[in-house]
Amino acid sequence: MATFVLIPGMCHGAWCFDDLAASLRGAGHHVLALTLTGVAERAHLLPGGVNLDTHITDVLAAVDHDAAAGDELVLVGHSYGGMVIAGVADRIPDRVDALVFLDAVVPHDGESCWDLVNDEERQWYLEVDASGFGVPPLPFFDPRATSHPLATVLQPLRLRADLNRFRRRVFVYARGWPGESPLQRSYDRVRDDPAWITYELDGKHNLMRDCPEDLVRILRETAES
């Protein structure tokens, strides 16, 4: 069975995957759901010194120290988490089987999360908290959400090769945004690419909450096909 590595979006911790992780474990898969440095229950860890490289290193360390994680990793990134899984896959390509972007940014070499989203999303990034280092959670976020390190969305990602070298590349698009989706550019980048598999779900951005059964099915198909 596969090892799923679940990476949350901005301001959220591993808890946003609790139900999804339980379903995948119930199907016999191994699951690593991670909270990134400077966020949620790890918000106390030097948010001013946290960038995208820090979050990529978080995942690499977690995978390296998990004795049950094999060499057929399925990396799953929600929203900003797309930046992280792309960076991780680029650094350990021999261990990665598939990539799943859950309504997430899909970067190319030299791009940052800032580059890939729309103006409304960028405006949110600039409304920093009192520390000057963090993007505050939006009012409707889970009460456990915290500010997210600003440098992580500004740092460009360096990739040595494109993502098409991996067996499966999946994008799951949320149709339920109230306005223009900040992930539209990323979806448009892959939706007509025959090397990618794409899905559209009738849920809001938090697909883990709105479309749990669909996500379990998609993830199981990705790993087991």
Active site members: 79
Residue 182's identity, in one-letter code, is: P
**Amino acid (one-letter) located at 35:** T
Nearest to 27 by CA among 173, 170, 213: 213
Q: Give the helix ranges, DSSP H, for 65-191.
A: 81-91, 113-116, 119-126, 151-154, 184-190
State the Cα–Cα distance between residues 26 and 39, nearest whole angstrom: 28
Nearest by Cα to 9 from 102, 73, 91? 102
What are the C-alpha distances in Å from 52 to residues 70, 87, 120, 163? Answer: 24, 9, 21, 18
- Residue 161 carries which DSSP code? S
Using only C-alpha atoms, the chain has a radius of gyration, in whole angstroms, of 16
